[in-house]
Amino acid sequence: GQNIDQPTEMTATEGAIVQINCTYQTSGFNGLFWYQQHAGEAPTFLSYNVLDGLEEKGRFSSFLSRSKGYSYLLLKELQMKDSASYLCAVRDNSNYQLIWGAGTKLIIKP
């Protein structure tokens, strides 16, 4: 079956670094996305990985290992505005639709 796992909630301190993990088991793989979603708002795109390795974009980086079915989102120099849910989504090979994890709620403390 199709399954994407993320921790439900994480807490971190302002200025620190946090890593949010995502593991997936899907019938096929054609790319992995990370989105940020503030409470009550729409998801917004953060990153895309299709090949193994690290993609860096400012304070945010995303890593992918296809052989392990594993990705992580790394957030550096945390700011209060980073308090949000982070959604991992995998594009299925069969119909190219996105399969979504339940999201990780990140709480930033001063």
Distance in angstroms (rounded) separating the CA atoms of residues 60 and 26 = 25
Rg (CA), the chain: 13
Q: To the nearest whole angstrom, how small is the minimum distance from the Cβ of residue 19 to another protein?
A: 20
Q: Which of 56, 55, 59, 54 is nearest to 82 (CA)?
A: 59
- Cβ neighbours, 10 Å, residue 62: 23
Please state the closest distance from residue 79 (CB atom) to another protein, in A: 22
Paired with 81 in beta bridges are none
Q: Of the two residues 59 and 96, which places its CB atom closer to another protein in the complex?
A: 96
d(CA 19, CA 97): 26
Nearest-approach distance from CB 42 to another protein, in angstroms: 4
- Measured from the CB atom, the residue of 72 and 78 that comes closer to another protein is 72
Using the minimum distance from each CB to another protein, give the nearer residue, 65 or 93.
Answer: 93
Binding site residues, another protein, CB under 8 A = 4, 8, 30-31, 33, 40-45, 48, 50, 87, 89, 91, 95-98, 100-103
* Cβ proximity to another protein, 4 vs 78, nearer residue: 4
For residue 98, the minimal CB distance to another protein (Å) is 7
Alpha-carbon gap, residue 78 to 109, rounded angstroms: 10
